[in-house]
Amino acid sequence: MDSLINAAAHALAAGDLIGALKRVALRDDAPALALRGIVMAQLGDLARAKELLRRAARAFGPKETVARARCVIAEAEIALVLRDLGGPAKAFAAAWATLEAHGDRVNAAHARNLEARRLLLIGRLDEAEHVLAGLDPAPLPPASRAAYELVTAGVALRRLRTKAARAALLRAELAARAADIPALATEVETAMHALTVPSARLISRGTERPLLLEEVEALLASGAFVVDACRHVVRDAGLIVPLATRPVLFALAQALGEAWPGDATRRR
């Protein structure tokens, strides 16, 4: 790595995006293209960042497999931000395997975290948890550690494990503060906000009131008979009856639940 590329990499790691860009702005070699792509991604120009990273991946020589794999992972991260969840899975998996085979623990862990985040976004929680379970967050730098904790919190929130979610978000907040990236801190703050605002409403005995997520968790753990209009299921203690494909039955259960302990009229 030449001195200019090295200086640009140090500037990027320190959060000096403009300083990093100035050092490589007029260069078109593979390392410079990769650095420019990462800088442009952090500046928010994602389309330009994807183009630069693809050019960098093509420009690296056949022996520079690790560098090329890092470009593929960086492009996959941009795709996640753009919610493009149908990218080339084989290329990502191959890049991930290359990083692990060459002992690049930090970027391999980052790739695993991206995969867990993708699985979370498409609702495959079991698989996301499995990927997270195999990830050691210790080698991750602060920004990646914050992202890891955000994914952990996201899974916990969808599982209605509010204590675990809050703990993960507090760790994410510390990591984001250490990374000193405003956009990341805002993402953590937005996720924390989900725990402080009503996320559901409870209709019982003719009254209605909003519920925080932790109150929803407590209600579902109480063993009470619940007609869940979010997931279209009926819950009673440990029994869950899905009615998403039985809309008439669910509408009947909902009407009876809202009228309880009174009777539901035919008009309802």
The count of structural domains within the chain is 2
pLDDT tens string 48-91:
999 999 999 999 988 899 999 999 999 998 988 888 877 667 88
* Residue 264 falls inside a structural domain: no
Final residue in a domain of this structure, among 193, 218, 249: 193
* Residue 33 falls inside a structural domain: yes
Question: Is the confidence at residue 47, as pLDDT, over 80?
Answer: yes
pLDDT of amino acid 192: 94
pLDDT of amino acid 267: 62
Same domain, 177 and 208: no
Same domain, 205 and 187: no
Same domain, 147 and 217: no
* Residue 234 falls inside a structural domain: yes
Same domain, 136 and 14: yes
Dist. CA 44–CA 181, nearest whole Å: 13
Same domain, 164 and 204: no
CA nearest to 175, candidates 151, 136, 149: 149
Mean pLDDT of 178-193: 89
* Residue 99 falls inside a structural domain: yes
pLDDT tens string 112-161:
999 999 999 999 999 999 999 988 888 888 988 999 999 999 999 999 99
pLDDT of amino acid 180: 83
* Residue 266 falls inside a structural domain: no
CA nearest to 255, candidates 180, 203, 218, 217: 203
* Residue 11 falls inside a structural domain: yes
Same domain, 125 and 37: yes
The CATH number of residue 147's host domain is 1.25.40.10
Dist. CA 44–CA 200, nearest whole Å: 34
pLDDT of amino acid 190: 94
Mean pLDDT of 27-47: 91
* Residue 231 falls inside a structural domain: yes
How buried is 252 (Cβ within 10 angstroms: 0-12 exposed, 13-18 middle, 19+ buried)? middle
Final residue in a domain of this structure, among 193, 211, 229: 193
Same domain, 17 and 52: yes
233 touches 244 (CB < 8 A): yes
Same domain, 181 and 253: no
* Residue type, position 98, single letter: T
Final residue in a domain of this structure, among 151, 174, 193: 193
Same domain, 130 and 244: no
Same domain, 70 and 7: yes
256 touches 262 (CB < 8 A): no
Same domain, 216 and 98: no
Same domain, 52 and 128: yes
102 touches 63 (CB < 8 A): no
Query: At 211, is the secondary structure helix, strand, or coil?
Result: strand
What is the domain extent for residue 226? 200-259
The pTM (predicted TM-score) of the whole model is 0.80
**pLDDT band at residue 206 under the 50/70/90 scheme:** confident
* Residue 265 falls inside a structural domain: no
**pLDDT band at residue 102 under the 50/70/90 scheme:** very high
